[in-house]
Structure 1
Amino acid sequence: MNDFVSRPAASPAEPRGRSHGPDAARRAALACMVTLAVALGVGRFAFTPLLPLMLHGGGLDLRHGGWLASLNYAGYFAGALGCVALRGAHATIVRVGLAATVLLTLAMGLTQQFWIWAVVRFVAGAVSAWTFVFASQWGLRRLAELSAPEWGGVIYTGPGVGIVATGLIVSAAGGLGARAGWIGFGLISAVLAVLVWPTFGEDRREKCEEKCAPTLHAAGAAKFAAGANASAAPDQPRADAFWLVLLYGVPGFGYIITATFLPVIARHALPGSAWPDLFWPMCGAALIVGALAGARLPLHWDNRLMLAGCYVVQAVGIALGIVWPNAAGFSFGSILIGLPFTAITLFAMREARLLRGEHAAALMGYATAAYGIGQIAGPLVAAPLAAATGSFSPSLWLAAAALVAGALGLVWRACTRGRIAH
C-alpha cells in the first residue's frame, strides 16, 4: 500500500509547480480521492453492505460469503506484492485500475455463478492494490510539485467517502436487491472515472521531469513523504524490520472480521431495526476524520506508540459491539474501528522510512503483504466459527485480543529499542 514513498517526486520548491496554483493541487487531490473511493470504497468494500442482500437472495450462504471476502483479500495480497515489480506510467496504471474496477463491479451484478464471483473478487482485490499504490504515487508527486502537501490528507479520505456512499445507497435502495446494487455501483463508478480521467494525463511531463531533475525529485519526495524521518540509513537492524512487518499484519486480521460482517452481525442483533444499515457508513465517516487528523500529527512522535494506540482503539471498538449489542454500542464501535484505519497505514509508512530511508519500498511491500495475510485469514476463521457456534462473538473477541497483543508488541519494541534518532 505504501510503495509510493520510494518513487521520485518533484521538489516542493520548484517554481514550475508553484505557478500552477492551488487549483491544480485541489484537482489532483480530489481526483486521487475519487479514485480511491472507486477502487477501495466500491471495488473492495461495497461487498460489505451488499453481503446481507446476497445472503437474503438465496444465491449465497455465510460460508461462501466468507470465501468471497477472503478471495478478495487474497487478490489484494497478490496485488500488493506485484506492485514491487510492476512498471509503467503512474497515471496509465491508475486509469487501467479505474476501468477495471468498473467492469469487475458490473460483472458481479451480471452473473449468479459462484465461481465467476470468486474470480472477479480475487481480480478486484489485485486491481484495488495497484490502483491504491499508483494513485498515491501520482498524487503525492503532484502535490510535492505544487508545494501543497497540506492536501495529502484529502487523498486518503477516498476509501471513507466510498464506504459512506455505498452504505447509504444500499440503506436507501436495498429493496432493489444485490444485483441492482452491483450494477448501480458499476455505473456510478463509470461516471466518476470519466470525471477524473483527464486529470491523470501528465505521464509525458512526469517522465521528462524525472530525466531533467532526478536529484531534486528525490529530495522533494523524501521531504514530502516523511519529513525528517527519511534521513535514516538503510542498514538498520533487520529485527526492527521483521517486527514491523509482523505487527503491521495484526490489524489486517483485527479489523477485517468486523469490516466484512458488520451489517450481518448488526441485523442479527437488531432484527427489524433501521440502524444496521447505518453502522458501516459511520465507520467510513470516522475513517475520513482519522485520515485528516492522522496527517496532522507531529512527525517526531514515536510511530510505534501511535500504532499501538490505534490498535487499542480498534480493539475497544470491536469489544463495544460484543458487550453492548445495541444501536449505541454498534455506533460507537463503528466509529472507533474506522477512526484509526488510515492512520495505521500512515504511521507504518513513517516507521518504514525511519528504518530504511530511501529503501523503504520493499519493506512496505512486505508489510502490506502481511496485512493482506491477516485479511485473508479473518473471514476464513470467522465464518466457520460463526456457523459452528451460532454467534460472531468468539471471532470478534479473537480479533480484539489480536489487536491488543499487537499493541503490546509495539510498546515492547519501542521500550527495548528506544527511539531511532532523527
Structure 2
Amino acid sequence: MTPAWRLVVAGALALGIGLGIGRFFYTPMLPLMQQEYGFDPAVAGLIASANFAGYLAGSLAGSLLRPGPVRLQAFRIGLVISALSTLAMGMTDDVTAWLVLRAIGGIASAFVMIAVAAFVAEALAPVSETGRIAWMFSGVGFGIALSGLLTEFFGSQVSSSTMWYIAGGLCVLALPFVLAEMGDRTLQASPKRPHRRRREPRPLPLVPLLINYTCEGLGYSVFATFIVAIIKSRPELAHIGDWSWVIVGLTGVPSMLLWAAAAERIGYAVALAVAFAVQIVGVLLPAFSDSGGVALLAAALFGATFMSITMLTLPLGRHGAGGRGFAILTAGWGAGQMIGPLVTGYMVTAGYDYHMALVASAAVLGFGLVVLLAAMAFRGPGVASDGRSAA
C-alpha cells in the first residue's frame, strides 16, 4: 500500500470510529435500549440531541485549530475519547450519564472529522491526489453499515450494555493503526498525469445557503435518529430494521464519489438541489407505506444523500463572511440537527406518531430546497473555469 493510500485508509478508519460508530451507533441501538430500559421517545430525542450539541461545540472549537502539534494532539485525544465514550455507554443505565457521554462523544467526533479532513486534504493536494478524499469519507458509511450488522447479529443475544462494549472494543482495536498513520504528512508526487481542468463551484449567497443547510440539519437528523425505531415499531417490518441501517451505510460508501462526479457534469448547486429532492423522497416514503421494500428503498435514498449534501454545500459557501462561511454553515447545520430529534421525541411522546414527524421533517427539507432554488435563480448564469456553464 502506498503512503497516500495508507493515509486515506487511516482517515477512513478514523471517520468510521468517530462518526460511523461514535456518532451513529445510537440509531440501531435505540430500539434495544428502549426495550431494556423503558424510556420514552422524548428521552430518546434528548440523548440524540446531546450528541449533536457536542458535535456543534466541537466543530466550532475545532475550526480554530491550526496546522501543527496542537491539532495533532487534539485529533489523537478526540479519537481516543470517541472510542472510549462509545464503550462507556454500556457502563451505566443513568440517563444523565448517557447525556454527558453522548455530548463528550459529539465533541470528540467533531475534532476527529475536522482534523482528519485537514490532514488528508493538505497531504494530497500538493501531489494532485485530492480525488482520493472521497474514498476517505466512505469510512463513515462503512462504520454505519458495521453498526447495523452488529445489532442484527448480536442484538437479540446480548444486553444493550454488552453491545456498546462490542462496538467500543472494535474501535479501540483500530486505534493503533490510525494513531500511527494519521498526522501531517509530506507525500511523494506520482508521475505526472494529463491535467484535466475541473469545474470550480460558483459560490451562492451565504444567507440563503445558511437557511438551506440549517433545514438539512433538522430534516436529516429525524430520519438518522429514529428510522430503525420506526421500522421496528411495525411488527411486520421488525426483521428488516437493522438491515435498513446497513443499507444506509452501504449506499453512503460510494455516494461521495457519485455526487462529486455529478457536480462536475451539472454543477455543484444543481447537484445539491437534486440531492435534496432525492432525500425528501427518501424521508417521505416510510410515512406513506408499510412495505418492507419501500422502507429499504427509503434507507438507500437517504444513505446516498445525507453525507454528500455536506460535501456539495460547503464549497458553495466556504468563502462567505470573509472566509468564515464554513464555520457559519456548520453552526446552522448543527443547530438544526439538535432541534430535530428533540422536537420529534416530544411530538411522539405527546401522542403524535412518527409518520407526522417524517412528514414535518420532509417539509423542512422542502422549504430548504425552495430557498436554494430561489438563490440559484437570482444568482444568474455563470461560466466555470473550463468554459462550461456553471451552477
Structure 2 residue identity aligned to 1:345: T
Q: Residues 261-298 of structure 1, C-alpha deviation per residue, up to 9 Å, x if partnerless?
A: 11110011235741111101111111112122123234
Distance 1:146 1:317 in 2: 38
The partner residue of 1:172 within 142, 153, 164 is 153
**Structure-2 residue corresponding to 1:18:** none
Q: Is the 8 A contact 1:252 1:373 kept in 2?
A: yes
- How far did 1:48 drift? 0.5
**Structure-2 residue corresponding to 1:142:** 123
**Structure-2 residue corresponding to 1:350:** 315
Distance 2:256 2:265 in 1: 18
**Structure-1 residue corresponding to 2:175:** 193
**Structure-1 residue corresponding to 2:200:** 229
2:273 matches 1:294: no
**Structure-1 residue corresponding to 2:389:** none
- How far did 1:333 drift? 0.4
**Structure-2 residue corresponding to 1:151:** 132
- How far did 1:421 drift? 4.8
Structure 1: segments with no counterpart, 5+ residues: 1-21, 207-222
**Structure-2 residue corresponding to 1:340:** 305
Q: How does 1:21-420 map to 2 (within 5 A)?
A: 23-58=2-37, 60-87=39-66, 88-89=68-69, 90-175=71-156, 176-202=158-184, 229=200, 240-271=205-236, 273-299=238-264, 301-353=266-318, 355-356=319-320, 360=323, 362-420=324-382
Distance 1:201 1:375 in 2: 29
Distance 1:318 1:257 in 2: 9
Q: Is the 8 A contact 2:272 2:313 kept in 1?
A: yes
Structure 2: segments with no counterpart, 5+ residues: 188-194, 385-391
Q: Residues 371-419 of structure 1, C-alpha deviation per residue, up to 9 Å, x if partnerless?
A: 1111111111111111223510111101111111211111111111114
What secondary structure sits across from 2:93 in the alignment?
coil
- How far did 1:148 drift? 2.1
Q: Is the 8 A contact 2:75 2:116 kept in 1?
A: yes
Q: TM-score, normalising length from structure 2?
A: 0.89
Q: Is the 8 A contact 1:73 1:372 kept in 2?
A: yes
Q: TM-score, normalising length from structure 1?
A: 0.83
What secondary structure sits across from 1:247 in the alignment?
helix
Q: Is the 8 A contact 1:309 1:407 kept in 2?
A: no
What secondary structure sits across from 1:60 in the alignment?
coil
Distance 2:350 2:38 in 1: 21
**Structure-1 residue corresponding to 2:388:** none
Q: Residues 332-381 of structure 1, C-alpha deviation per residue, up to 9 Å, x if partnerless?
A: 0011111012221111122125x549x64x20111011111111111111
- Which sits farther off after the overlay, 250-259 or 264-273? 264-273
What secondary structure sits across from 2:261 in the alignment?
coil
Q: Residues 232-268 of structure 1, C-alpha deviation per residue, up to 9 Å, x if partnerless?
A: 7xxx8xx911111121111111111111011110011
Q: Residues 297-349 of structure 1, C-alpha deviation per residue, up to 9 Å, x if partnerless?
A: 34474322221211111110011111112211110001111101222111112
Q: Is the 8 A contact 1:160 1:285 kept in 2?
A: yes
- How far did 1:149 drift? 2.3
- Which sits farther off after the overlay, 66-75 or 91-100? 91-100
Alpha-carbon RMSD: 2.4
Distance 1:298 1:276 in 2: 32
Q: Is the 8 A contact 1:257 1:378 kept in 2?
A: yes
Structure 1 residue identity aligned to 2:200: N
Structure 1 residue identity aligned to 2:11: C
Distance 2:45 2:359 in 1: 18
**Structure-1 residue corresponding to 2:192:** none
Distance 1:36 1:391 in 2: 33
- How far did 1:200 drift? 1.9
How many matched pairs? 375
**Structure-2 residue corresponding to 1:14:** none
- How far did 1:51 drift? 0.8
User: Taking structure 1 as reference, are residues 164 and 240 closer, same or farther at Cα in structure 2, changes over 3 Å only?
Assistant: same
- How far did 1:140 drift? 1.3
User: Taking structure 1 as reference, are residues 334 and 201 closer, same or farther at Cα in structure 2, changes over 3 Å only?
Assistant: closer
- How far did 1:29 drift? 0.8
Distance 2:265 2:278 in 1: 21
Q: Is the 8 A contact 1:48 1:261 kept in 2?
A: yes
User: Taking structure 1 as reference, are residues 297 and 348 closer, same or farther at Cα in structure 2, changes over 3 Å only?
Assistant: same
